[in-house]
Every structure is written in structure tokens, then in C-alpha cells.
Structure 1
């Protein structure tokens, strides 16, 4: 995932209380969901490792029918609850998660 996505992309919308960074063109391009807990939906393969690793249940499954990588994604639905332990970022096989502490 691009660590500078907040500088290199524009906010394209909002979902479940978090920003969605474009480009977005469903079902192929779904963008990056979240800012401090950011999941690149375009490379997420939905193996669930982040959901299992998160001690505060930040993530929940979100259905994405027709997306070429997987038909569901780990959505940072409770981004504000993140304790910045980096467990999810560490276990993500395709490195689709970027955790950034709020300033």
C-alpha cells in the first residue's frame, strides 16, 4: 500500500464513518477505506488475518461482489477504536493495511 495515500489520492466519499480514498469505480476499483486504519480494498484478499489479530475489533466484513481480488473485504468500521498496536498490519499477507497514529 502507498504510505503516502493521503497526499497522493483524493477523498472520494465516506463509508461506515470513515473516508474512502479514490479512485473508486466499483466493482473493480474500491479505493482505500479509512485514514488512520487504512485498508486498500483493491489488494485485500479477505483472508481474515487482520480481523483475528485485532484485539479491539476494529474490522468487520463488507461484501464486495464482483471485485477481482475477493468478494468481501475487512472494513475498518470502528477505526476510532484502534489502539495502534499494528497487529493487523503485521499479519496482512498482501500488505493491504497501513496504520498511522493520529497526530
Structure 2
């Protein structure tokens, strides 16, 4: 299993293409579904901002769309691209809370 954490950006192998994705799984999800990870789709920053307000910059002119989440098998995580700074982690948690109506 890949050693991945919330707030890391990974390259994901999807068929014959690779995409960068932001890991948004929490500890509870990992405990229940250790062979899968929740990821937010990454797109060019200008396109991401035109599609949703729930965007976080992940560098290199790209942004993760935190309301565009999908499940990916951990075996598809190929290489770590980077980490979000601590300030952005709280932004992502806040966005997830707003999207899914979580409190606390």
C-alpha cells in the first residue's frame, strides 16, 4: 500500500493516462476502506475556478476541485507530487465540511 496522507498530491494511473489528484481521505475512511483513497480532481487553475468555488491551488498552475471527489484504488497511486501547506489544509477541511454538511 502506498504511504499517502490527507493533503498530498499524487499522480494516479487511470488506464493509459496519469492524472494528478489531491488526497482528501480522512482517518475514518482509511480505517474502513484501506485499499481505496478519496481524491479531488486536479485541473488547470483557470478552468477549475470557472467550474467551482471549492478550489485549492496545488502549484504549477493547477488547482484541486474539492467538490469533485472520486474513489481510487491505492494501487493506482504512482508517485507523490507534493504537499499542501498547513494553511491550505484547513481550507480544504473547511470546504469538505461545507460540501458534506459536516460540523465539529
Bin the TM-score by the shorter chain.
Answer: 0.3 to 0.5
Please, what TM-score do these two structures have when normalized by structure 1?
A: 0.34
Structure having the higher strand fraction is: 2
- Which of 1 and 2 has greater Rg? 2
Please, what TM-score do these two structures have when normalized by structure 2?
A: 0.34
